[in-house]
Amino acid sequence: MLSGIINLKKEAGMTSHDAVFKLRKILHEKKIGHGGTLDPDVVGVLPIAVGKATRVIEYMTDSGKVYEGEITLGYSTTTEDASGSVLERTPVPIDVTEVVIDQAMASFIGQITQIPPMYSAVKVNGRKLYEYARAGEAVERPKRQVTITDFKRTSPLLSDGDCLRFNFRVACSKGTYVRTLAVDLGAKLGLASHMSALCRKASAGLDLSSAQSLGEIAELVERGDWSFLLPIEYGVLDLPRHDVTDEEATELSHGRFVQLDRTEDLLAAFHDNQVLAILERRHGIYKPKKVLL
């Protein structure tokens, strides 16, 4: 059975589920999952776990993300991105300068509260928000706390009729809706806005510069080249690492507790440079949450 991590470059026009479905056909492997959903219009890094590596996918999903994209000030959309219908228009006044925008963006650094967009997969009372939206039904959306570590404009302002467009970069925690961030930035400026383009540049320790598309992976498989399949260790890059002794490795492989001089709640236990287990701290000692070897 195949096992490992794939740094997939997801293309526009497909869901994360679509990408997994196509990979199952290319690899002839059923046990495949993705770490961190991307909207159909969003391109970029989609971490994929194959075989035994699916056991660490939750730790890839929990990691921070880096995105680059474009924000348009001047009108909002039903979906908060370019795929939706125009909801509201507010011509951008001349006094909205680069300095004003940069100051507003800087105010989002740190922990902020977001309300997920109606066109999202967040569930309320057992139904996804986009199901309410498509049915024209209103529902109270749950607030969530997310962390923004970087949010900067990366291009000059481009005038487009009554609108302004500019590129941006954001580094954020799990669960952040970047399109909502674009809308909230506009609201801070007193303007309707939306996210007009987005690319995920990095996720779970994987970078877009080394990602491969479905077409590229299919070509490699045809040639018998499996170099795109990364070791399972890539799935635990964001967890603190602890190298265990031979004796500790034996204990852990049998599911027993070990005493370690660490304080983290979760650890990736390594032995001979291979990830042996995910350890969970309980009452000052560590027990295997998942044994991987």
Strands (E), 97-240: 110-114, 123-124, 127-128, 144-153, 158-160, 163-172, 193-203, 206-207
Quote the crossing angle between the two packed helices 178-188 and 98-106, to the nearest 10°. 120
For residue 19, the surrounding DSSP H or E stretch is helix 16-27
Cα distances from 161 to residues 22, 29, 186, in angstroms, run: 41, 50, 17
CB 270 within 8 A of CB 242: yes
Please name which of 170, 150, 198 lies closest in space to residue 37, comparing C-alpha atoms. 198
Residue with tokens 């302002």: 157
Burial 108-133 (b: 16+ CB within 10 A, else e): beeebebebbbbbebeeeeeebeebb
Active-site entry in 18, 39, 62, 225: 39
39 a catalytic residue: yes
For the annotated catalytic residues, the residue numbers are 39
